[in-house]
Chain A
């Protein structure tokens, strides 16, 4: 179920999956081109502000797009292509930061807050009741309904 939600959200929120490629850049094999695009959208255009190389019109982005396609054509796996680029440009180039001690707080933060919040809500409902509340009897419910109308 969790994987389902993850996949659905990935699909829903690939916000503005944008394409800036120029004519002639795309690979002829649609499967390889699809892979190249997925990889490109995870790589940052280093001379731009917060754009992936897939979205950017900068020359460097174009060079990197061509590089990614060259590696994909050469038979690299997706991870190998990413590693190849990281080896040259550093982890800064990854739009999805690596999972390491320095980014634990980044990756666990939202989930941790959700869990803490959930715990807080749980305790909120478990707090000692100041007065025991007996459920309303059937006659009381009826009386209440008459008073408040059909709402």
Chain B
């Protein structure tokens, strides 16, 4: 019965979304406050309906109701509860329900907390948001109904892809979708602004928190995905330039550009049409990402659905929204008056450079991902575009960007003194130099470029905090006063420093593991020993195990460092009888600076076990850096001037207005 309620709730949500789309839009056009105000309850009720549908689906998975086709196809009674809950989005239909669930959540949040928005803008934003809901609810109901019943119901389900039965991957889609769908907010604001023909600093102030929230979630989502790949796929890679990964990187790059250009718009009232275009592009790339993953155009572990009808439907949705928004843009953007003037060497100029390079990097990933599809569909030769292409195009664009990042915050608005900025970065440059030399001293046998990469990472970290140090006058006034100043620094300044520094931390991780990784691939009998990176591993035992829904072969390694016992490591090879699939469960010992990574394989005829051991120096920094970046986003989000929705107390608002922003 819950399934029928869920199905009905989805239909009801569609009807409400239709009302939410057309009534407020018309109301804003004829300036009727009553009609405009309908947007708020509509958005809230739409969310409640979709939440009910989502809960109904959760209920079906949790109690293993195999009379529902989706549950029978994707679940199994013996599956642990956590994966039953996460199993809802481990398939096409359920993941689309999660998509609209998050979409309507964003809509409801704007409806409830957007009290400071002008009525007409709020009505139009919610109307655009409603129209996205209409499209995807229709898509779900027509092509991907999750509530279809089976009669007779099978006795047991056919299980979930074992690769997806993992805590990292199970929590990856909600973050990723919060990011993807979060950009719909920026999109709705952009389209609403184009309809009104007005974009100003306050518009940017309303858009920024939503973009920041989406960006932070997407950052964490991408990190979870790459971390999962690292420990699951069994050879320690963390980024493969797989089209599905690129699909999440594209909106991230565009969203990063949008965050920066929105700052210019907010502080200086210029770059209006460019910022609006970026807002449209960021969500368009999210939609294209959804299309790539959901249509089955690319078959990979992620694309569990290969139904051309669905791909075609998403393609139509994409064309409608992207085409519609861009046409509106072409028509209305000339209305947006260019704002204040500024010199090329200025904060504005630096942020334009940031946007130029990020846009080019986005283009490199976009072209590389879609070119083989395009060429194939035009009847051209079949080609593969893999990591070597992205290394040759994306890399050279991003490197100069990384190098100039620390300069940005030191440049003044309107007209800046580059020499003064460089001078304030002297300490950071010296730190970077020292770190580079130290890296060379330790690893002079490795690739000679690696110490330079490490130095670049150190430059990013030291440079990012140089600005904070400068602003709190560290070491130039008594430490106590510096600390006091640090407490009063706007949170957004801390957020900027953290996000930029996180980039440096990630870079150091990438360089370290690329340049100095060690590996041993060998076959050893029980009692055999492997030496790597200062560690010694003794294969003590290999035994069989039975898990909740799998059987495993587990190797027990006794690890010692410098002759002293350190830990046991137990890599497994798992067999899932229901799904008839094998997976590797790697064993990783980390000290947060380097990883020891062990994988066990098959036994050969001479009773020797094939074993792969990797020593991955600095690799944890990749994800630590991304988490720092995401934390920076969160800190920025808590800045009182950007606090999502909640109206700030009058006093602090006045204070905030009196303070220059950054």
A residues touching B (Cβ–Cβ < 8 Å)? 2, 5-26, 41-42, 44, 49-52, 55, 57, 90-98, 102-103, 105-107, 109-111, 113-114, 117-118, 121, 124-125, 129, 133, 148, 151
Please name the 7 residue pairs, one residue from A and one from B, whose CB atoms are nearest each other, closest first. A9-B395, A16-B237, A95-B386, A96-B388, A18-B237, A110-B364, A15-B239
Q: How far apart are the CA atoms of A127 and B393 in the complex, in Å?
A: 31
B610 lies within 8 A of chain A by Cβ: yes
Whether the Cβ atoms of A55 and B235 lie closer than 8 Å is: yes
A sample of 26 cross-chain residue pairs with beta-carbon separation below 8 angstroms, ordered by A number, consists of A5-B400, A9-B394, A12-B514, A13-B395, A14-B391, A15-B239, A15-B240, A15-B241, A15-B514, A16-B236, A16-B240, A19-B235, A23-B610, A41-B387, A50-B386, A90-B382, A92-B382, A103-B375, A105-B367, A107-B393, A109-B363, A110-B367, A121-B353, A121-B356, A124-B352, A148-B660
Instruction: Say whether B523 contacts A106, CB under 8 Å.
Output: no
Distance to closest chain B CB from A142 (angstroms): 16
Q: How far is the CA of A90 from the CA of B382 in the complex (A)?
A: 9
CB of A15, distance to nearest CB on chain B (Å): 4
Given contacts A13-B390, A110-B360, contact A50 B237 (CB under 8 A): no
Which residue of B is nearest A42, CB measured? B388
Nearest CB in chain A to that of B359: its residue: A117
B632, CB-defined interface residue at 8 Å = no
Partner of B519, one of A19, A110, A117: A19
User: Chain B's nearest CB lies how many Å from the CB of A63?
Assistant: 17
B239 nearest in chain A by CB position = A15
With A13-B394, A14-B514 already in contact, the answer to whether A8 and B352 are too (CB < 8 A) is no
| Distance (whole angstroms) from the CB of B530 to the closest CB of chain A | 11
In the complex, whether B590 has a CB less than 8 A from a CB of chain A is no
Given A26-B521, A94-B384, CB of A9 within 8 Å of CB of B398? yes
Question: B51 in the interface, Cβ–Cβ < 8 Å?
Answer: no
Find out whether the CB atom of A92 lies under 8 angstroms from the CB atom of B383. yes
Beta-carbon contact of B384 and A102 below 8 Å = no
B84-95 CB contact bits vs A (8 Å, 1 = yes)? 000000000000
Q: Is B452 an interface residue (CB 8 A)?
A: yes
- In Å, the complex CA distance between A49 and B300 comes to 6
CA A50 – CA B300 in complex, angstroms? 8
Q: Which of B396-410 contact A (CB under 8 A)?
A: 396-400
Which of A21, A22, A26, A90 has the most chain B CB atoms inside 10 A of its CB?
Answer: A22
Q: Would A15 and B400 be within 8 Å (CB), given that A44-B384, A109-B363, A118-B356 are in contact? A: no
**Given A9-B396, A18-B235, A23-B522, A129 and B341 contact (CB-CB distance below 8 Å):** yes
Q: Mark B267-302, 1 if CB is under 8 A from A, else 0.
A: 000000000000000000000000000000011110
Enumerate chain A residues within 8 angstroms of B352, measured Cβ to Cβ.
Answer: 121, 124
Minimum CB–CB distance from A101 to chain B (whole Å) comes to 10
Q: A11-B511, A92-B383, A110-B364 are in contact. Are A102 and B235 (CB under 8 A)?
A: no
Residues from chain B with a CB closer than 8 A to the CB of A20 are: 234-235
Interface centre among A18, A22, A55, A111 (most CB of B within 10 A): A18
Q: Which residues of B contact A9 (CB under 8 A)?
A: 391-392, 394-396, 398-399
Chain A residue at minimum C-beta to C-beta distance from B510: A12
A80 to B328, CA, bound (A): 53
Q: How far is the CA of A14 from the CA of B388 in the complex (A)?
A: 8
Chain B residues contacting A110 (CB-CB under 8 Å) are 360-361, 363-364, 367, 393-394, 397
Give the CA-CA distance A49 to B245 in the complex, in Å.
Answer: 13
> Contacts of B387 on A, CB cut-off 8 Å?
13-15, 41, 52, 95
